């Protein structure tokens, strides 16, 4: 099942202060779990998957509260999952509520399938920023790609590793607990929401072992 990886970098909107109320960030990671089959793309019932995820999030809240964290509620899809079979890019958004926070949180996700793994982009913002994030997502989707030789179509079934999960697992995460942990943001979201602003540390240097896989293009949101 897919899990978190070390961050490769971060995308932030152009011309917006990292500590401003309108700031947001997309954290980029890579999961070298192998080739993810998309044969189940048209068979996934995302309504049923959402229900399962909501139950998983709810059942984990008791443990979260014992650890001193606020409960999390998965309200629903802010953007239902969509898979582009031509570009092999999967994207969706979740609406979440943290404890008694007055404003709900947007978690926008992009997954790009490659020959040897998945490029993961996770965005955290306020629900009110959904239109802006969706506009930026279109630019991001158009700009990112694997270099030749590392693309989904370059898969060699005789030699390449095959992931032990499919598209549904990419959306659900590592079991349902990942919906609560929220990947990379599991350690910082509470602080971010409490401060009512987004804390941007800055761009992390891309690991040398992974840099060669991707085209380097500037994203302007």
Q: Write the Ramachandran bin of 183: left for phi over 0, alpha for psi from -120 to 50, otherwise beta.
A: left
pTM: 0.75
pLDDT tens digits for the chain (221 residues)? 455 556 788 877 877 766 666 778 888 889 999 999 999 899 999 999 999 989 888 888 888 888 888 888 999 999 999 999 999 999 999 999 988 888 898 999 999 999 999 999 988 888 999 999 998 888 888 888 999 999 999 999 999 999 999 999 999 874 333 433 443 343 344 444 344 333 322 222 222 333 334 444 434 44
- Contact by Cβ (8 Å): 107, 76: no
Nearby residues of 62 by Cβ (< 8 Å), 6 or more positions away: none
- Contact by Cβ (8 Å): 180, 64: yes
- Contact by Cβ (8 Å): 72, 96: yes
Q: Rg of the Cα trace of the chain?
A: 17
pLDDT at 25: 81
pLDDT at 61: 86
Nearby residues of 140 by Cβ (< 8 Å), 6 or more positions away: 11, 26, 110, 121, 219, 221
């Amino acid at each position: 099942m897919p899990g978190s990886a070390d961050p490769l970098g971060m995308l932030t909107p152009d011309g917006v202060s990292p500590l401003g109320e309108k700031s947001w960030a997309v954290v980029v990671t890579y999961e070298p779990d192998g080739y993810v089959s998309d044969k189940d793309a048209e068979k996934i019932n995302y309504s049923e998957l959402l229900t399962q995820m909501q139950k998983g999030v709810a059942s984990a809240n008791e443990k979260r509260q014992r650890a001193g964290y606020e409960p999390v509620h998965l309200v629903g899809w802010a953007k239902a999952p969509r898979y582009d079979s031509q570009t092999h890019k999967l994207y969706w958004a979740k609406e979440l509520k943290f404890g008694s926070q007055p404003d709900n949180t947007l978690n926008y996700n992009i997954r790009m399938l490659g020959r040897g793994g998945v490029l993961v982009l996770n965005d955290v913002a306020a629900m009110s920023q959904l239109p802006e994030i969706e506009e930026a997502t279109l630019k991001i989707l158009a700009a990112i790609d694997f270099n030749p030789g590392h693309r989904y179509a370059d898969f060699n079934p005789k030699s390449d590793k095959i992931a032990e999960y499919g598209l549904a697992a990419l959306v659900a995460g590592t079991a349902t607990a990942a919906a609560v942990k929220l990947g990379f943001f599991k350690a910082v979201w509470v602080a971010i929401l409490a401060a009512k602003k987004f804390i941007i540390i800055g761009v992390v240097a891309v690991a040398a072992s992974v840099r060669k896989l991707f085209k380097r293009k500037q994203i302007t949101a």
